[in-house]
Amino acid sequence: MSEEFKSGSGSLTSDSLEADDVLAGAEPWDPVETKLVLWSLAIAAVVLVIGLFVVPSSVLH
């Protein structure tokens, strides 16, 4: 965890541009990612439906 702490709090310098691993080594898809994606889309859907009814300029009016 301390390494993770370090990775996000320090200043970016030319030495820290060792980026060979930031695009490689994708972890397997995790169910929590499915939840994150679906919750985002669900919120979008709810706001869309409510918005279409309450926004006077929407296509429903």
Partner 1 sequence: MATMTNRKWYTGMLSQEDWWAVWMGLFFFGLGLLTCFNIDVIGWVTYPTKWVFSPPEGGKGAISSAFYALGKKYAYDPDAKAFYKGLGWWSIIWTYVALTVVTTVGAACMKWDVKKFVQGWTVLFFLTIAVWFVGHHAFFAATIINKHKYGLDFSLSLGGGASFILALIVGLIIGNFFKGFAGFLSEAAKPEWYIKTAIVFLGVKVGYLPIKAAATSMKLGKQVAGLTGDLFFAGAVATIVAYMVFWPGVYVISRKIFKLPRKTAAVLGSGISICGVSAAVATGGAVRAKPVVSIMVSALVVIWAVIELIILPGVFTHIWPGTSDPLVAGSAMGMAVKTDGADAAAGELLDEFLRTKIATETNGAVQWPEGIITTSAVMTKIWIDMFIGLWAFVLAMVWVYKIDRRPGETVPASEVWHRFPKFVLGYFAAWWIYLAIFFGPGHAGAAEGMTLLKMAKAGAVPVEKGLRKLFFMLTFMSLGVITDFKKLKEAQFGKMVWVYFVALFLFIIPVAVIIAYLFHHGMEIPNMAG
Residue where the block lists tokens 């397997």: 28
Q: Locate 60 and state its tokens.
A: 């429903």
Q: Locate 47 and state its tokens.
A: 């706001």
For the CB of residue 49, give the shortest distance to partner 1 in the complex, in Å.
10
Q: How far apart are CA 1 and CA 29, in angstroms?
A: 22
Site string for partner 1, 10-49 (x = CB under 8 A): xxxxx-xxxxx-xxxxxx-xx-xx--xxx-xx-xx--xx-
Q: Which residues bind partner 1 (CB under 8 A)?
A: 1-2, 4-14, 16-20, 22-27, 29-30, 32-33, 36-38, 40-41, 43-44, 47-48, 50-52, 54-59
